Amino acid sequence: MDDSQLLRYSRHILLDDIGVEGQQQLIDSHVLIVGAGGLGSPVALYLAASGVGHITIADHDVVDLTNLQRQIAHTTERVGQAKVASAAQAMHALNPEVRVTALNHKLDAAQLNALVPTVQVVVDCCDNFATRQAVNAACVAHQVPLVSGAAIRMDGQLAVYDARQDTSPCYACIFPPEETPEEVRCATMGVLAPLVGVIGTMQAMETVKLLAGIGSRLTGKLQMLDGRGMEWHEMRLQRNPHCPVCGPAHHKTTTA
């Protein structure tokens, strides 16, 4: 790190858990963010501000006026722009040193399998069940930690799935792919603006901890926030031995 970086990241470096070595790990890291909306906005901004050296952000949507109630990476002037381009502009305004790769399209399984092995952490900020399953499958296949968040109405949830740990469940263990839920979207259900900020900021925090080698206490747990009463509930998650994604039968097939 040069003098400018030492000054920019000085408040991280003062932390015993991070220090110079941990900050350098952040600078040397590559993170994939899937989704540049309500959750992806605070994740992208905080990871850029924290000094993550390379951030790839993927989203096929454009900025709409209805997004601005909660998607803080975007501005009124950028309505109509691709969300990834708008987010990249906001990230560079915070930290021009960060390398941003903006992917203005949906990621399919082949693209995920090519991209996920190049990153250290994947952050799932999307609102589509099929995409979540595809992201999870790629993370399991390449043993890359997945930081997953969701928010709707006044309820949020957060979990970390780490395929590097034998005891960690994956997203499909908890939300089986064959049990396709009814899609719940902010456009039809509504969402409290600061709620996505709370969950997205926590996703960013867990990502920074994983990158800096601090670890994550949330691996194998699901945290749920009731925004009305500001109450957190935590559920321990068990790995499903018959999971079609991370179960032993699938593992033998994919590694043979």
> DSSP E strands: which ranges in the chain?
30-34, 54-58, 99-103, 121-124, 146-152, 155-161, 221-226, 231-236
Kindly tell me the sign of the dihedral angle through the C-alpha atoms of 13, 91, 143, 174. Answer: positive
Active-site annotation holder among 139, 173, 186, 246: 186
Cα gap 250→45, rounded to integer Å? 37
Q: How far apart are CA 114 and CA 158, in angstroms?
A: 26
Under 8 Å between Cβ of 101 and 54: yes
- How does DSSP classify residue 19? H
* Strands (DSSP E) found in 35-194: 54-58, 99-103, 121-124, 146-152, 155-161
186 is catalytic: yes
Q: Measured between alpha carbons, how far is 199 from 151 in angstroms, rounded to an integer?
A: 7
- The widest CA-to-CA distance across the chain, in whole angstroms, is 53
Calpha distance 18→85 (Å, rounded): 30
Which residues are within 8 A (CB) of 52 and not within 5 positions of it... i.e. 6 or more apart? 26, 27, 29, 30, 31, 98, 207, 208, 211
Instruction: State the angle between helix axes of 40-50 and 83-94 in degrees (0 to 180), rounded to the nearest 10.
Output: 30
Which positions are catalytic?
186
